[in-house]
Amino acid sequence: MGFICLFHLTACTGQSGSHETASSATPSYSIPDSQAQDLIKKKAVIAHQMADEQITYFVTHTADGKFGYNIFIDGKIYIEQQTIPAVAGNHGFATKEDAEKIALLAIEKLKRGEVPPSITVEELKEKQITINE
């Protein structure tokens, strides 16, 4: 099974050389429309491939007594996440339910063709994940 790695792109306008900027610290840049269209097509292919895959997860206990998760694709480990993604530090999730919410979000992103399935702080807040220790 082969995977194609896609990079997060900012939203491009239809005009060459212009781009929208985000208010975050993530650098923003524009790419030619042909490359953007190619990446959109590749993402669609990955999403189609992922639809045929069996994607499962398992919530785990971490060394600090918290929780993490593993994601499996067709029985093979694909992601081992023992810390809360997108936040500084090496702390696991406070509850099993928190770990499960983010594992399911990551699976949803995989099925949409987002490889790797990046999680943002905003998404953690939307899911009401306990971030502070």
**pTM of the predicted model as reported, rounded to 2 decimal places:** 0.68
pLDDT at 28: 63
pLDDT in tens, 34-88: 888 877 877 777 776 777 779 999 999 998 899 999 999 999 999 999 999 999 9
Are 133 and 100 in contact, with CB atoms under 8 Å apart? no
Mean pLDDT for the chain overall: 79
Most confident of the ranges 34-38, 50-54, 89-93, 122-126: 122-126
